[in-house]
Chains A and B, each alone.
Chain A
Amino acid sequence: MTDEREPGAEKLESGEPTRIDPRLLEILVCPLTKTTLEYDSARQELISRSARLAYPIRDGIPIMLPEEARQID
């Protein structure tokens, strides 16, 4: 995984944790298996048990690409 943040990209003001909109969480599924995801708010990840992948959420933006996801057991 690479951090491709551009140098000038602003950090969120005041460092408050970015919330994921519940309307979005309700809709998102695993792009591979199309099954529901578990939201890990502490790690900022969306877990697909069926694909055994954890999709990262960076600055409030879910990264729903298998090639950028972390493999889990």
Chain B
Amino acid sequence: MSEARNYLREVETLDNGNVEAAYARWAPIYDLTFDILLKPGRRAAATAASKARGPILDVGVGTGLELPMFAPDTQVIGVDLSEPMLRRAAQRVRRERLDHVAGLVKMDATRMAFPDATFACVVAPYMLTVVPEPQAVLDELARVLRPGGEIVLVNHVSGKDDAIALFEAWLDRHMAPKLGWRPQFPWSIIGDWIDRNPRMRLVERRPLAPFGLFTLTRIKRMSAESKKSEESAPLELALA
């Protein structure tokens, strides 16, 4: 808990203004630079979400790279804080005739324009590491999620003491405000949040290609009557 809190204090310089400006700069070349590395995670998130029976929310949809990966019989709404990125996503939707995309909306992920319990699934690929308040975002994702629905996260979870972790810590101190994302992201940010929310249950945590650099996390919102301890579904846990 305190690890996460200290950490959050350290990155308070990473505010929405930084993120928005950084993404406006990145928008033109984002697809080229990140597509190859990030594609397996997008596909995994879209595949997991496509099993949902009901509307899907894609938070941090960006230029819409994963939009073609959802099953055609789904209904997807994408939101992002970056208008230049959303405009690119809209071009993609028109160009590729992605009829399953019901809309693209500019909004703040901590204060979304949806009623409670709207979506059967909420996906956030590579999103939590770029927001100033990841736990406030998780609260909001849970709010708009229907009971029985799932939050599907894909992001880098940093290790504790390997060389990569040290490099991430350095990047974090020196580069986070310029990059618009935080290289260092301890699991406790997600883990502590799940522990604090009795309705939410971790159902899967799986490292993804390439090299297990990114982790797919599925968190289910239990229905009102079932408690965490009474659930018997086995946890699919595969740790690197």
Contact = CB atoms under 8 A, between A and B. Distances in A.
Q: A27, A29, A63, A65 — which one has the most chain B CB atoms within 10 A of its CB? A: A27
Nearest to A22: B102
B87 A59 contact: yes
B164 interface: no
Contacts of B111: 31-32
A34 B83 CA distance: 22
B104 interface: yes
A22 B12 CA distance: 39
Interface stretch (B38-46, B113-121, B179-187, B206-214): B113-121
Given A6-B24, A65-B106, A65-B107, A27 B84 contact: no
B-side interface mostly: mixed
A6 B27 contact: yes
Given A59-B90, A61-B83, A23 B102 contact: yes
Interface residues of B, number: 26
Contacts of B115: 27, 29, 34
B39 to A, nearest CB: 24
Contacts of A28: 105, 113-114
Interface residues of A, number: 26
Interface in A31-73: 31-32, 34, 58-65, 68
A60 B104 CA distance: 8
B52 interface: no
Q: B83, B107, B114, B118 — which one has the most chain A CB atoms within 10 A of its CB? A: B83
Interface in A3-36: 4-6, 8-10, 20-21, 23-24, 27-32, 34
A-side interface mostly: loop
A65 B16 CA distance: 13
B222 interface: no
Interface string B98-134: 0000111111100111111010000000000000000
B199 to A, nearest CB: 20
A60 B93 CA distance: 12
Q: A8, A23, A68 — which one has the most chain B CB atoms within 10 A of its CB? A: A23
A27 B86 CA distance: 19
A4 B27 CA distance: 13
7 smallest A-B Cβ distances: which pairs?
Answer: A24-B103, A64-B113, A23-B102, A31-B113, A64-B107, A63-B106, A6-B84
Interface of B: 24, 27-28, 55, 75, 77, 83-84, 86-87, 90-91, 102-108, 111-116, 118
6 contacts: A6-B87, A24-B77, A31-B107, A61-B83, A61-B86, A62-B106
